[in-house]
Amino acid sequence: QFKKNFLGQSADKFTRAASSQKCFRTSDIDKVGHTNRHLTFFEMLGNFSFGDYFKTDAIAWGWEFLTKEMSLPKEKLYATIFKDDSEAYDLWKKIVPESKIIRMGEETNFWNMGPTGPCGPCSEILYDLGPEYSCKKPDCGPHCDCDRYLEVWNLVFTQFDRQEDGSLKNLPRKNIDTGMGLERLAAVANGKTNVFETDLFAPIIEELSDILEVKISENPFQLRMMADHVRSVCFLIADGILPSNEGRGYVLRRILRRALRQGKMFGAEKPFLYRLSAEVAEIMKSAYPELSQRRENIASITKMEEEKFLETLESGTKILEEIMAKYKSSDVVKNKGNLKSKFVIPGDEVFKLYDTYGFPLDLTKEIAKENGLDIDEEGFKSAQRDAQKRSRAAWSGSGEKDLSFYSELHKDLGNTVFVGYDKTNAVSKVLALTKNHKKVNALNEGEEGEIILSETPFYAESGGQEGDTGEIKSQKGAVLEVKNAIKPVNNFVIHKVEVKKGTIAEDEEVTGTVDIKRRENIMRHHTATHLLHKALREVLGKHVTQAGSLVAQDFLRFDFTHLAALKSEEITAVEEIVNNAIRDNMPVCVSQMSLGDARKVGAMALFGEKYTETVRAVAINDEKDNHYSLELCGGTHVRRTGDIGMFKLISETSIAAGTRRIEAVAGEAAEKYFRHIDNLLDDISSKLKATKTEISAKLDKLMSREKEFEKEISKLKSQLASGGTQDLLKSVKDVKGVKLLTAKLADTDINSLRDLSDNLRIKMGSGIIILANIEKEKLSFVVSVTKDLVEQKYSAGKIAKNLASLVGGSGGGKNDFAQGGGKDISKIDSAFNKISEHLL
């Protein structure tokens, strides 16, 4: 954030700064847990000089801070310097014995911003934790990367400007840029030898050991790694990042899944990381209250991602094991000549695992490593690129023709002046007319085409807001209906028109008038969209960001990032916040500002959107003149929130993983919506012959009566059917001494068939009963065999199976009773015959 200050290009008045900031790096991820000092999330303290104080003060003050403020014992501190930095050497010599100044090479003690430009040597302050932490190599010393000498602070002296030819020129303004890890400082200041032993981590590690039922002393590395990752997950989510397969979301996903897999190796079957968010929030709350505020949100997002991964982890692990087995055997290497060496899993396999099972690259890498295998990372990346290309290819291919026509026109005519923020009509000149992508001199009555004006009050479709409609009249009496306005290139506005009367020609003077009522409704929905955005972030959390929007005259649609469906209380809360903001009748203020200033005051901007240097900011201000909402937006808005009238959310759905969609109405559209609901209720209440307040009770009553009816009908049906037993008994056949009854019935149900069959069984004493119920396009049947025949190995289940296969269906059951169904109604008679033949 200080790049401009360092280069002397900032307008800031100050020349010194001190900072404490959240850092997240994955560059040390493999080390986390294994060393005493590496984390993925940490807090970095820093002090900066922009052409102000330099090396002398930076070193003296660094020393003073550590030895006086933090009371670290002097004898334990060492300093490293860049080997050629004699200035630093001389400065340190005044402070520590020369034996404690270590000259180091470029890789650790020289900082570059890029191949050319500002750069300079650095000097690190190390803390000696004692010989027991040494790697015990004979040459172990302060230059060693092991755990003994802990780097606490890095002081960077930006004093050179590297030239194209590699030579170093002195910078006119020298800078200081230092970084000190808070966790490392906390460790040494508290006499600990490991960042994980500080109170920033110890409670998290303890809780992890409780939840997973593993002893800290037996698995310190794994628990430390998980504790670190959990902290990162909490902070990333609190900063508005959601797990996804791209960019920052993917980094979050990787780290979460890495920790979860470790838990799974300890036997965790259920999500558990989310349970730690409370502890993390508790530890960090004084400095980062947002963690407590968003605790529930953090927990639920974490839990959902855990559930998702646990589902696929098992199957993915199995697949990976198979792959590993394959690439461990040397045969494969011989057969696949293209493999570099054995023990390397090819990139496309790694990608498949990533694509189908959500296995992050470094997770596969880690599992492979545990099994003595490598992975082809380059191959993975190229497989990923191919997949992206394929999905992009599927998207493109439309619209280019239009665009080239318009950009040619735009080259000639330039941008259109938009005057529609302040007025809804304007006098203007016809610059061009087009029809079917060709320029024309005139458009005649009845013709449709496009018109380009020198200036326009018509808002062209953009930023989700629909284009204006209205009328254009020429001085010569032509009348054109404006059906839409778009801006295909830059601010070049194309009006889609139909000539209603007369003829319009190039160069004529015209007056354009926007359909005011429609525009006002659009403005209500647009300002309401900003209020909705604000309310969603308040209710659901700061991770909510706009993913898409449509602002129309009769409704608004707002897509945003959020994982779960909104609970009904959340919906109510959102509606209340928006409607309160409407009643507060806050002014909507539009201003132009530099992009930098807009960022500074926290304006909400869209990700991936390109903004110009000067941006239009739409602020809704509260009575103290603070920004209640501030968004970068080119749309048209009401003057005060009260103009919106009212707001009602009408639907909330999911449109993609992690993306929700809200539709809502405001102002007149809301009024219409309520009227519609009210009419509906009137209609229902007149049909139910109940007042509106009685509707619900009346419906309950009707519904319970319906249930009773159903029961009654079913009872009656079976009674009717059993009344028919006498008739049915007449058709009993004797097949080799076994009584067989087959019968077709119509329009009854399976329960009645069962009752009937039970009745017949009693009446017959011994026998086989097959009853089929014939409906319009299907049949169902029951088969019942009396106990004595079951003992003789007759089976209702087998008969049902046979019968079903004869009528094109399925069936089965126990030996004494079975049921089934089929589609070939016409085959039932022959099927009955076949069954009886079979018994013979």
Q: Which residues bind ligand ATP (CB under 6 A)?
A: 25, 28, 37-39, 42, 44, 151-154, 179-181, 183-184
Between 183 and 207, whose beta carbon lies closer to ligand ATP? 183
How far is residue 220 CA from its own chain's centroid?
A: 33
- Sign of dihedral through CA atoms 312, 314, 317, 323? negative
Beta carbon nearer to ligand ATP, 7 or 44: 44
Report, in Å, the least distance between residue 37 CB and ligand ATP: 5
* Gyration radius of the chain's alpha carbons: 39
Pairwise CA distance, residues 704 & 530, whole Å:
46
Closest approach, Cβ 157 to ligand ATP, in A, equals: 13
Q: Which helix (H) or strand (E) holds 734?
A: strand 733-735
Q: Report in angstroms how near the CB of residue 183 gets to ligand ATP at its nearest.
A: 6
Chain-centroid distance of CA 229 in Å reads 19
**Centroid of chain to Cα 357:** 17
Indicate the residue among 228 and 631 with the shorter CB distance to ligand ATP: 228
The answer to whether residues 807 and 775 touch, using CB atoms and an 8 Å cutoff, is: no
- Per the document, the length of the chain is 840
Rank residues 151 and 349 by Cβ distance to ligand ATP and give the closer one: 151
Nearer Cβ to ligand ATP (62/181) = 181
To ligand ATP, the closest distance from the beta carbon of 185 in angstroms equals: 7
Residue closer to ligand ATP (CB basis): 181 or 767: 181
Report the amino acid identity of residue 350: V
Name residue 72's amino acid.
L
Residue ranges of E strands in 563-712: 588-594, 614-621, 627-632, 647-656, 659-666
Nearer to ligand ATP, 134 or 462 (CB): 134
**Residue 461 Cβ, how far from ligand ATP at the closest point, in Å?**
48
Least distance in angstroms from the C-beta of 39 to ligand ATP? 4
CB closer to ligand ATP, 224 vs 530: 224
Nearer to ligand ATP, 280 or 665 (CB): 280
CB of 254 to ligand ATP, least distance (A): 16
Nearer to ligand ATP, 180 or 482 (CB): 180
Is the alpha carbon torsion for 596, 598, 604, 608 positive or negative? Answer: negative
Dihedral pair phi/psi, residue 168, rounded to 5°: -110, 130
- To the nearest whole angstrom, how small is the minimum distance from the Cβ of residue 642 to ligand ATP? 51
Q: Using CB atoms, what's the residue nearest to ligand ATP?
A: 181
3-state SS string for 739-756: EEEEEEEECCCHHHHHHH
Of 77 and 785, the one with the shorter C-beta distance to ligand ATP is 77
Asked if 635 and 519 count as a contact pair (C-beta separation under 8 A), the reply is no
Minimal distance in Å, beta carbon 152 to ligand ATP? 5
Joined together, the tokens standing for residue 510 give: 């015209």
Going by DSSP bridges, is the β-strand pair 168-181/817-822 parallel, antiparallel, or unpaired?
Answer: unpaired
Element (H or E) spanning 308, and its range?
helix 295-328
Residue 290: CB minimum distance to ligand ATP, A: 21
Residue type, 165: D
Contact assessment for residue 260 and residue 306, using Cβ atoms and an 8 Å cutoff = yes
Q: Which residues pair with 448 in a beta bridge?
A: 498
Strands 374-375 and 344-345: parallel
DSSP state of 68: I
Residue of 581, 694, 731, 592 whose CA lies nearest to 645: 581
State the nearest-atom distance from the C-beta of 43 to ligand ATP, in Å: 9
DSSP state of 585: T
CB of 77 to ligand ATP, least distance (A): 13
Smaller CB distance to ligand ATP: residue 179 or 587?
179
Amino acid at residue number 685: S
Maximum CA pair distance of the chain? 121
